[in-house]
Amino acid sequence: MKITIVGSGYVGLVTGACFSEVGINVQCVDVNEAKIENLKKGIVPIYEPGLDKMIVRNLEKGRLQFTTSLSEALKDSEIVFISVGTPPDEDGSADLKYVLQVAKDCGKYMNDYTLVVTKSTVPVGTSIKVKNAIQDELQKRNVKIPFDVASNPEFLKEGAAIDDFLKPDRIIVGAESARAEALLRSLYKSFTLNGHPILFMDILSAEMTKYAANAMLATKISFMNDMANLCEIVGADVNEVRKGIGSDGRIGNKFIYPGIGYGGSCFPKDVQALIRTAQENNYNLQVLKAVEAVNQNQKTVLYHKIVNYFNGNLQGKTIAIWGLSFKPQTDDMREAPSLIIVNKLVEAGAKVKVYDPVAISEAKHHFGDTITYYNDQYEALIEADCLAILTEWPEFKIPNFNIVNKLLNTAAIFDGRNIYDTYEMKKQGFDYFCIGVNTLTHMKNNLLRSVS
């Protein structure tokens, strides 16, 4: 089987690499010539564990090819995936110009039956627009070539995308003909053999499923962050509450970790796009609006803790930061809480020293020379007045606390990801602040508990 994947960004590359890994002939297309030239040499423009090796392996086997020519790629591909970007418009809705351009090009160049599958996250109803765009081009050419459209949203987590693709929780396909369904069932055969389900449905429901899934996950996080803030006020420990509610199977223990707000290329964009879709359909998505508002607020919570600690004045203070990417295992800083926190610290007059295992070069695009960058997590601490942890990279979890304590001017840690134990921090002599635990009240209550 031969397939074409248009758009060699994050989703397109992971999809192309994984399909070629199971023996399918894949042509990846992109308009960016420099990117394609690099990919032909095995130079991968994004950081995703395991991806570069998989691309090189399949390039060498000849099952994976890169080209800038969609017309060439289409010549012998029965299936075309659209995985180009859908950047948010000023009003928050997804900009479909790239998706529809690919649809047009498919109509322009296809010569035989083609199944055009939308993989990019697109608003509900986009596949109809894709279909119309293809149809219009065929009409212009005055030819009658059979084709189908389908929706096949992705559920890839950055940092775990290869695993998510190879062992999916489920594959969602919205299709409108038996032929399209059969083609996609056979394409995904290798991925469904071990009981990973493939769910077929109508196209609108498939498109909606992607948004509903991300909206639900974002809701869990914002709900937990809201609870965390209340826990702090009433003196409860959100870590205990999380375990307490997570053991109820109906709630589940995943995606209920409080923190400094969700970021990344999906949740913020998809939540806004779904609110927008609802508005366009005269429906008020109240819950999701609150999810968004809570998330905006949560990105400033750690900053306020730092300001309070220094009595409202950060002038002349030096703050060390560990972690800048929106989550571990990626250098992606899109919508990362660090963007807001670091900028607020700088605006307040603080000197900021940062360390991240992989996101430093990305960070330089955002912060330029307003902050200083370090290649070693301990070096960033020298003469800093406190440490703030913004990403839960594994290497931050068990640092040498003696060194941390010695290097910092003030032994104060602001942990935006709750990676340390309150008692351990107290024992190590730190002033410790995290999310959803008023460390002072909490210690007092628990001392009473251990005495009684």
Contacts of 139 (CB under 8 A, 6+ apart): none
Q: Is 61 annotated in some ligand binding site?
A: no
Nearer to ligand UDX, 156 or 162 (CB): 156
Tell me if residue 231 is catalytic: no
Are the C-beta atoms of residues 326 and 391 closer than 8 Å to each other?
yes
Phi, psi of 303 (to 5 degrees): -60, -45
| Alpha-carbon span 137 to 231, nearest angstrom | 58
Q: Is 257 annotated in some ligand binding site?
A: yes
SS3 63: coil
Q: Which amino acid is at 243?
A: K
Give CA separation, 20 vs 3, 4, 164, 187, in Å. 10, 11, 16, 11
Taking CB under 6 A as the criterion, the residue among 5, 149, 238, 256 binding ligand UDX is: 256
Paired sense of beta strands 431-433 and 412-415, if any: parallel
Is residue 83 within the footprint of ligand UDX (CB under 6 A)? Answer: no
Residues 282-341 close enough to bind ligand UDX by CB under 6 A:
326-327
Q: Is 57 annotated in some ligand binding site?
A: no
Given 18, 106, 266, 434, which residue is catalytic? 266
| Alpha-carbon span 100 to 131, nearest angstrom | 9
Contacts of 341 (CB under 8 A, 6+ apart): 260, 299, 300, 302, 303, 321, 388, 390, 416
Q: Is 263 annotated in some ligand binding site?
A: yes
Q: Is 35 annotated in some ligand binding site?
A: yes
Is residue 262 within the footprint of ligand UDX (CB under 6 A)? Answer: yes
Is residue 131 within the footprint of ligand UDX (CB under 6 A)? Answer: no
Nearer to ligand UDX, 206 or 350 (CB): 206
Nearer to ligand UDX, 107 or 263 (CB): 263
Nearer to ligand UDX, 134 or 228 (CB): 228
Structure tokens at 412: 């104060």
Phi, psi of 357 (to 5 degrees): -60, -35
Are the C-beta atoms of residues 186 and 242 closer than 8 Å to each other?
no
Residues 137-156 close enough to bind ligand UDX by CB under 6 A:
154-156
Residues 91-120 close enough to bind ligand UDX by CB under 6 A:
none
Q: Is 156 annotated in some ligand binding site?
A: yes
In angstroms, give the least distance from the CB of 80 to ligand UDX.
21
Is residue 41 within the footprint of ligand UDX (CB under 6 A)? Answer: no
* Helical packing angle, 126-141 and 203-234, nearest 10°: 150
Taking CB under 6 A as the criterion, the residue among 266, 271, 425, 434 binding ligand UDX is: 266
Size of the site for ligand UDX (CB under 6 A): 19
Is residue 436 within the footprint of ligand UDX (CB under 6 A)? Answer: no
Residue numbers in the known binding site for substrate are: 155-158, 210, 255-259, 263, 327
Residue numbers in the known binding site are: 30, 35, 86, 121, 155-158, 210, 255-259, 263, 269, 327, 334
Q: Which residues bind ligand UDX (CB under 6 A)?
A: 154-158, 214, 217, 221, 255-257, 259, 262-264, 266-267, 326-327
Catalytic annotation, residues:
266
